[in-house]
Amino acid sequence: DTGVSQDPRHKITKRGQNVTFRCDPISEHNRLYWYRQTLGQGPEFLTYFQNEAQLEKSRLLSDRFSAERPKGSFSTLEIQRTEQGDSAMYLCASSLNPHNNYGYTFGSGTRLTVV
């Protein structure tokens, strides 16, 4: 198993453009999480899935953000009409259920820069 993979590693985009990130979790993990991290801060929760069902979205997640996990495998996170404030590291993590007795496995993240 190669762990959690995220693609791309880096993305530079112009303000107003749409971007999409992909996450491939560990295959047997049924939970998938998206976090966002800015410099000097800890990861901030965005949303998570149990298989293909999106169970929770952060109130901080504007309607420009959407996430999917079709067929309960890989997940995509799309940001529409990007703004400079969206510049951050976007982290994906996966876990088994019952989740509180299993650790997260994080990917290396996608670094987004909006210019």
Residues that bind other proteins (CB under 8 A): 4, 31, 33, 35, 40-45, 48, 50, 55-56, 91, 93, 98-101, 103-109, 111
Minimum CB distance to other proteins, residue 48 (Å): 6
Residue for token pair 């295959």: 27
Residue for token pair 């990130």: 21
**Residue 93 or 114 having the CB closest to other proteins:** 93
Minimum CB distance to other proteins, residue 101 (Å): 6
**Residue 70 or 103 having the CB closest to other proteins:** 103
Minimum CB distance to other proteins, residue 16 (Å): 27
Minimum CB distance to other proteins, residue 29 (Å): 13
- What CA–CA distance (Å, rounded) separates 91 from 48? 12
Task: Please choose, from the candidates 40, 56, 23, the residue with its C-alpha nearest in 3D space to the C-alpha of residue 88.
Answer: 40
Residues 6+ apart with CB under 8 A from 35: 43, 44, 45, 46, 90, 91, 92, 93
